[in-house]
A = this chain, B = another copy of it.
Amino acid sequence: MKELEPFIRDIPDFPKPGIVFKDITPLLKDPGAFKRTMEILKDKAEALKPDLILSIESRGFLFGGALAYMIDKGQIVARKPGKLPYKADQVSYDLEYGSNTLELHVDAIGKDQRVLIVDDLLATGGTAAACGQLVRKQGGLVAGYSFVVELAFIGGRKKLEPDPVSS
């Protein structure tokens, strides 16, 4: 959405030299831009008919919570290791350097429940794909992936398709 681009601030060399970080804090702070963003996410979510919203820690929480409220669905959360207090399934995935791990409570998803995975940014797609694995591991179906910003030149979308991807 061209109208929302002014609310995404480019921060050069963050978190390391050569990377241009997409800062969403101006979008969060502007009530009109945030509302418009949420309405777009809502329209896309409704078309995918999810039973649950899966929000990815941390920035995914900012959008996933509002979206779950708006479409009146339950929300589950994928978190970094050691944060979830109950028994959790775990998935690890490779980063450019090293690896990351995400966890999801074992009782998060029922069989064949449709899960929409929400995060702020699609870059390599590694984090989102890991969440897709967690959904399938628990017997759920990936209804789709929804992002606020997509760094299309990285091509992370390829890692997630043929499941529906929107940004």
Any B CB within 8 A of the CB of A34? yes
Any B CB within 8 A of the CB of A84? yes
Chain A 76-117 interface mask (CB, 8 Å, partner B; 1/0): 110100111110000000000000000001001000000000
How many A residues have CB within 8 A of the partner chain?
A: 42
Contact between B11 and A74, CB atoms less than 8 A apart: no
Name the contact of A30 in the complex, choosing from B28, B57, B74 (C-beta under 8 A): B74
Contact between A28 and B77, CB atoms less than 8 A apart: yes
Q: Main SS of the interface on chain A? A: mixed
- The oligomer's copy count stands at 2
Q: How far is the CB of A31 from chain B (nearest CB, A)?
A: 5
Q: Which residues of B contact A58 (CB under 8 A)?
A: 57-58, 61, 79, 83
Contacts A34-B68, A66-B65, A85-B11 given: A29-B52 contact, CB under 8 Å?
yes
Any B CB within 8 A of the CB of A70? yes
Q: How far is the CB of A63 from chain B (nearest CB, A)?
A: 6
Q: Which residue of B lies closest to A109 (CB)?
A: B29
Contact between B85 and A23, CB atoms less than 8 A apart: yes
Q: Which residues of A from 45 to 74 have beta carbons under 8 Å from B?
A: 52, 55, 57-59, 61-66, 68-70, 72-74
Query: 6 A-B contacts, Cβ less than 8 Å apart?
Result: A11-B86, A25-B76, A28-B77, A29-B76, A35-B72, A61-B62
